[in-house]
Amino acid sequence: MRKIGIQEIEDIAVGAALLGTGGGGDPYIGKLMAIQAIEEYGEVTLLDAEEVPDDALVVPSSMMGAPTVMLEKAPSGEEAFVAFQKLETYLGDKIYATFPIEVGGVNSMLPFALAAKLGLPVVDADGMGRAFPELQMVTFYLDGIAATPAVLADEKGNTVVLSTIDNVWTERIARAATVQMGGSAMTAMYAMKGRNLKESGVRNILKLEETIGKTIRKAKENNANPIREVVKSVKGFPLFSGKVKDINRKTESGFARGTATFEGMHENKGETLTLRFQNEHLLARTEERLLCMTPDLIAVLDAETGLPITTEGIRYGARCVVIGIPCHPKWRTEKGLATVGPKYFGYDVDYVPVEELAKEGVRS
């Protein structure tokens, strides 16, 4: 157990942008919400998953809908609170702690804003270890934990309590309600017991994000190259050093899809990297080699500062280092790959773990 203050939030936000692998929504607005709540109500207690009683009710707090809407119509702060109240009434149980559903992007920050206001602890675990775009794409789903009963709430005071036959229906109905609520809403879903979170969650992931943020901050203070340190702290692999040569984006069925092309520099001189993304970076390859693919993480870092770059932030001429990070083992199971593997996103390649690709330099 320890306290999370403003400096910790700043560091975690940098880690959240990195593990967001280009998507997940800019953590910026979430960070400001967390900072304002901590300034107003005080620091937040962070618990290790082990510190949560097996029978305690734990519920993630997250936003649903278009991150761009949230950038304009920011939450009131009441939505998440009302959603938790409604869920407690429905379940007839008190919520013991909250946690992020995904640690990539804006959703990493929202539990802190709520926790400060309610005086609840945050548990250091999530359901992805990264960011993904659909609500069944969580490790909890792989272990058969239902998304509902779930509550959606908007700033006007409307709430919707969902009880659905499966998570696909949850997605479908919640999406429609979110549009009516104005394009973004706060949710309380995937309510579970402490034991479920210990078994199915990705643990110590906020601590990792804090380490990432701190590493980059310290490197800047000491004028050192942060990338090597960051790669070490995430147990990742440097995949490619290059300069952005081309970026091609389009918005399709709610996804920011596209391709970024990098021209190799240094040890990659003469090579070209193609990075495919749909909100998140999903597939990195050169003409000859596959380098990394979903569900493993692909992060693009500024070659100088080590700061993560989102897909919107990728611009011509930027010098970057692309790194690969092994995903949580649960994603590498058959059900895991069926849910978030390359084929699910429409790429016709078989999944190979990043550490094997890095070792063998597999030709395709």
Strands of the chain, DSSP E: 2-4, 44-47, 57-65, 95-99, 122-123, 125-126, 150-153, 159-162, 184-188, 192-193, 202-203, 237-252, 255-264, 272-278, 280-286, 290-293, 297-302, 319-325
User: Is residue 78 close enough to count as binding other proteins by CB under 8 A?
Assistant: yes
- Cβ closer to other proteins: 172 or 315? 315
Quote the CA–CA distance of 48 and 56 in Å, as a whole number: 14
Give the residue, chosen from 156, 172, 218, 359, that forms a contact with other proteins under the rule CB under 8 A: 156
* Mode of pairing for the β-strands spanning 57-65 and 95-99: parallel
- Cβ closer to other proteins: 61 or 200? 61
In the numeric block, the tokens 């009441």 are attached to: 78
CB of 314 to other proteins, least distance (A): 9
Per-residue x/- mask for other proteins, residues 5 to 44, rule CB under 8 A?
-----------------------xx--xx-xxx-------
Count CB neighbours of 316 within 10 A.
9
User: Is residue 270 close enough to count as binding other proteins by CB under 8 A?
Assistant: no
Give the residue, chosen from 134, 143, 263, 271, that forms a contact with other proteins under the rule CB under 8 A: 263
Give the residue, chosen from 48, 51, 68, 289, that forms a contact with other proteins under the rule CB under 8 A: 68
Q: Please name which of 190, 186, 312 lies closest in space to residue 244, comparing C-alpha atoms.
A: 312
CB of 76 to other proteins, least distance (A): 4
Q: Can you state the percent helix, strand and coil of the chain, rounding each to 5?
A: 35, 30, 35
- Cβ closer to other proteins: 6 or 338? 6
CB of 362 to other proteins, least distance (A): 28
Q: Which span sits near other proteins by CB under 8 A: 137-145, 192-200, 292-300, 315-323?
A: 315-323
295 token code pair: 């569900």
- Cβ closer to other proteins: 7 or 364? 7
The strand order across the sheet containing 272-278 reads: 290-293, 280-286, 272-278, 255-264, 237-252, 319-325, 297-302
User: Is residue 182 close enough to count as binding other proteins by CB under 8 A?
Assistant: yes
Q: At what angle do helices 6-19 and 28-41 cross, to 10 degrees?
A: 160
Distances in Å between the Cα of 17 and the Cα atoms of 131, 298, 357 are 10, 12, 24
CB of 73 to other proteins, least distance (A): 5
In the region spanning residues 189 to 228, those forming contacts with other proteins, defined by CB under 8 A, are none
User: Is residue 147 close enough to count as binding other proteins by CB under 8 A?
Assistant: no
User: Is residue 69 close enough to count as binding other proteins by CB under 8 A?
Assistant: yes
Count CB neighbours of 270 within 10 A.
8
- Cβ closer to other proteins: 69 or 358? 69
What is the Cα 2 distance to its own chain's centre?
22
Contacts of 153 (CB under 8 A, 6+ apart): 79, 80, 82, 83, 86, 159, 160, 185, 186, 187, 188
- Cβ closer to other proteins: 183 or 258? 183
CB of 179 to other proteins, least distance (A): 9
Q: Which span sits near other proteins by CB under 8 A: 42-50, 151-159, 329-337, 342-350?
A: 151-159
- Cβ closer to other proteins: 110 or 327? 110
| Interface contacts to other proteins, rule CB under 8 A | 28-29, 32-33, 35-37, 66, 68-69, 71-78, 113, 155-157, 182-183, 245, 263, 312-313, 315-317, 319
